[in-house]
Amino acid sequence: MKKSFLLLVVMAFAIVGCHKPEPEPKPEPVDSTTTQEEPFIDQLPDGSFENSWVEFTAEKGKYLDFKTAAFTTLNILYELPDDPLPGKLTAFRTNDAQDGQYAIKLVTADLSGMILVPGAFGTISRDCVGEFLNTGGISIKKDFTYKPVALTGYYKYEPVNGDSAVIDMAIYSGNKEIASALLKEKNTVSEWTPFTLTLNYTDPSANATHLKLLFIASACYDFSKLQECQGQVGSTLYIDNLKFVYE
């Protein structure tokens, strides 16, 4: 299984350089004007999932992906060829929104019954495949110099066979974690439900340098050992209207 997974990421690494947005035609109402390289400021860019959907083209056809300075999904795996392991989409734009037109829907999938790909987005490195080849894992932190006291938003969840979802957040000063919060959901949540993740800082004087923020439809993940992720195919997490709260 590890050999198969390594083959998967080697192939994905090879196609990363081809992962370019199609300039024309632009699907309506997709807005691809977001500057991907600029750092995000004290609030999450497009936390309501309205504008930052970009159309890409793979051999299987066109697909949408959500990308901002803060967030990355695992949809690049869709560009893998069907042989030997067919990549699948795990992050989708949905009209089932709590506010505005759109929200994001995360669906856990597998590749030929061999490798689980959890529906996930967050502060995942855009070079996740290259990092795996070099280190065996991927980084899940991004530069962030602010100190929010909470994250708020809305979610729904449709678990399969006892699966659970997670929202995992932490603030770091260098390599030291100075605040964290975790929401784990095991039950079906059929209506949009508000959540608040409250951060209590263990060292209030420390400067923030990095943020980890992950939304995952199957909670048994390990991004340092990607081939050991677990969960149930079809578990679905919806997220919308994310905001940081400051004192």
pLDDT in tens, 213-228: 999 999 887 777 666 6
Q: Which of 43-47, 82-86, 185-189 has the lowest mean pLDDT?
A: 82-86
Class of domain 2-245: mainly beta
Closest CA to 147 of 125, 121, 180, 123: 180
**Does residue 179 or residue 136 have the better pLDDT?**
179
Q: What is the pLDDT of residue 131?
A: 63
Cα separation, 137 vs 88, in Å, equals: 20
Q: What is the pLDDT of residue 232?
A: 87
Model confidence at 21: pLDDT above 70: no
Residues in the chain: 247
Cα separation, 68 vs 241, in Å, equals: 15
Mean pLDDT of the chain: 82
Closest CA to 120 of 142, 140, 137: 140
AA letter at 27: P
Model confidence at 105: pLDDT above 50: yes
**Does residue 136 or residue 195 have the better pLDDT?**
195
As a whole-number percent, the residues of the chain with pLDDT over 90 amount to 56
Q: Is 149 exposed, middle or buried (0-12, 13-18, 19+ CB in 10 A)?
A: middle
Average pLDDT of span 159-170: 96
What residue spans define the domains of the chain? 2-245
Model confidence at 13: pLDDT above 50: no
Q: Which residues pair with 158 in a beta bridge?
A: 236
Predicted structure pTM score: 0.83
CB atoms within 10 A of CB 12: 23
DSSP state of 38: S
Q: Contact, 237 vs 119, CB < 8 A? A: yes
Cα separation, 39 vs 235, in Å, equals: 31
